[in-house]
Amino acid sequence: MSQNTLFDKVWDLHKVADLPGGSSQIFIGLHLIHEVTSPQAFGALKDKNLKVRFPSRTIATVDHIVPTDNQSRPFKDNLAEQMIDALESNCKKHKIKFFNIGSGSQGIVHVVAPELGLTQPGMTIACGDSHTSTHGAFGSIAFGIGTSQVRDVLASQTLAMNKLKVRQIWCKNKLSDGVFAKDLVLHIINRLGVKAGVGYAYEFSGPAIDALSMEERMTICNMSIEGGARCGYVNPDKITFKYIKERQFAPKNENWIKAVTWWESLASEKDAIYDDVVSIDASKVEPTVTWGITPGQSIGVSQKIPELNELNADDQFIAGEAYEYMGLNPGQAIKNTPIDVCFIGSCTNGRISDLRVAAEIVQNHKVSPNVKAFVVPGSEKVAKAAIEEGLDKIFKEAGFQWREPGCSMCLAMNPDKLTGNQVSASSSNRNFKGRQGSPSGRTLLMSPAMVAAAAIEGKVSDVREFIKK
């Protein structure tokens, strides 16, 4: 059993009680809600005649269903309008702070909470969205929950949970030029598998992680869930504190000093005991691309799609399904695979640093004539910063569409969808069958820089060749 890890410390601090059945009751410090997974939870509160016990500990925004072309209300899609309307009225009724479209702070919930300084080390954070693991980048214990659990957090600010085991993923050495956090996390998921994290919290540590910016750490923790781990985290350090300082909801004045002292005490101890330790050599990671229908089915851009007999017996069934669905053959190179749609955005890679990297690749190039390419900033703040830096112009001049913030084609709950069996190069997190809105649409996951290179070439390309140019 793990001891003296950040996970243990934060868990113990938030444990309210041991429940009779053997699980624990855990206090949730920050509860984030959005329009898709909350309406039924508010409905259940009403049915049970319960109120929101600590409304100031819940924060709302709208992200999944928002259109990215025309955000004027009412939305053209009546169902989407009903959902935002339900969130507006639930927040009003229960006195929950809501960052709505046009507030200047709306955006993807996992982009918004960190940039407002709401996400802080040592907190427990829950949200009805599996990518809540993102917030672990700050040294918080953050995880996705379902709607019944959203109801429980609204009603009691607590959840019934079993304690997770802790696996340290030690990333040694550093990432090479042209290789990004997204490549590293895809590589980790490929190495460990998509279900290895079930029952675990992942601690990402080592020199390669220490060298990452907060936004890069968020990309890593964001995809913990794609490796099966409900929660992933990075021990907080000076980079963490610098990011948080002076943000809207950050501790101020003498509280800031006290907070930093407390945050410093939270990191896993040198003598911490882990349930498992894995080592990854970051210097060996290439720009990485998925070829299949799970985020674990990835290869370096210079590699070939694996043959069945090169895979573990347990991975062969889904690989067979993937070859067929993707229309790709084992032994085939992934490089030069033709691309129809390029999507830069999402809670994984829709932050300002992601847009900067992609813009640098795109500058002075044109999007291939057969490609539809678009950029969806992760939040209104990201969009504003990008426009101030002129990134929107760079993208538009190259032939990208510049859109309004939201989740967009990561999960295609809004009008941004693949059609037919189009192939997308996507900076998002899931390449599941049908994920991007067409039941036969195909998704290749990669870093924003690799998406930018694919947009220019019209096919999967090695971004390192662009950097050399």
Partner 1 sequence: MKEVFQTPQGKILKVSGKCISLVGDDIDTDRIIPARFLKCVDFESLGDAVFEDDRKDLNGKHPFDLKFNQNAAILLVNSNFGCGSSREHAPQALMRWGIKAIIGESFAEIFYSNCVAIGIPCFTLAKKNIKSLQLSAETGNLFIEIDIKNVIATEGSTKHKLNLKESSKNMFLTGQWDATSTLLSNFELIERTMENLPYIKLNK
* Interaction residues for partner 1, span 152-211 (CB under 8 A): 152, 155-162, 194-195, 198-199
CB closer to partner 1, 197 vs 350: 197
Half-sphere exposure of 147 (CA within 13 A, CB side): 12
Contact between 17 and partner 1 per CB under 8 A: yes
Query: If binding means CB under 8 A, how many residues of this protein chain bind partner 1?
Result: 83
Contact between 341 and partner 1 per CB under 8 A: no
Half-sphere exposure of 227 (CA within 13 A, CB side): 29
Q: Which amino acid is at 90?
A: N
Contact between 321 and partner 1 per CB under 8 A: yes
Residues 406-465 that bind partner 1 (CB under 8 A): 411-413, 430, 432-435, 437, 439-440
What φ, ψ does residue 305 adopt, rounded to 5°? -60, 130
Mode of pairing for the β-strands spanning 276-281 and 288-290: unpaired
Query: Of 29-37, 273-281, 383-391, 420-428, which segment contacts partner 1 by CB under 8 A?
Result: 29-37
**Which of 427, 462, 468, 466 minimizes the C-alpha distance to 302?**
462
Instruction: Report CA-CA distances (Å) from 199 to 275, 302, 356.
Output: 11, 34, 36
CB closer to partner 1, 264 vs 360: 264
CB closer to partner 1, 65 vs 460: 65
Contact between 20 and partner 1 per CB under 8 A: yes
Residues 6+ apart with CB under 8 A from 202: 167, 169, 224, 227, 229, 231, 232, 233
CB closer to partner 1, 172 vs 433: 433
**Which of 34, 40, 38, 87 minimizes the C-alpha distance to 63?**
34
Q: Least distance (Å) from partner 1 to the CB of residue 318?
A: 5
Interface mask toward partner 1 for 252-291; x: CB under 8 A: ---x--xx--x-----------------------------
The residue from 33, 83, 358, 445 that contacts partner 1 (CB under 8 A) is 83
Query: Of 66-74, 178-186, 361-369, 405-413, which segment contacts partner 1 by CB under 8 A?
Result: 405-413
The C-alpha torsion from 66 through 68 and 74 to 75, rounded to 10°, is -70
Contact between 467 and partner 1 per CB under 8 A: no
Please, what is the Cα angle at 188 between 348 and 242, to 5 degrees? 50
CB closer to partner 1, 255 vs 302: 255
Contact by Cβ (8 Å): 167, 277: yes
Enter the DSSP assignment of 17.
E
Residues 223-252 that bind partner 1 (CB under 8 A): 225, 228, 230, 249, 251
Residues 119-158 that bind partner 1 (CB under 8 A): 120, 122-123, 128-130, 132, 143-149, 151-152, 155-158
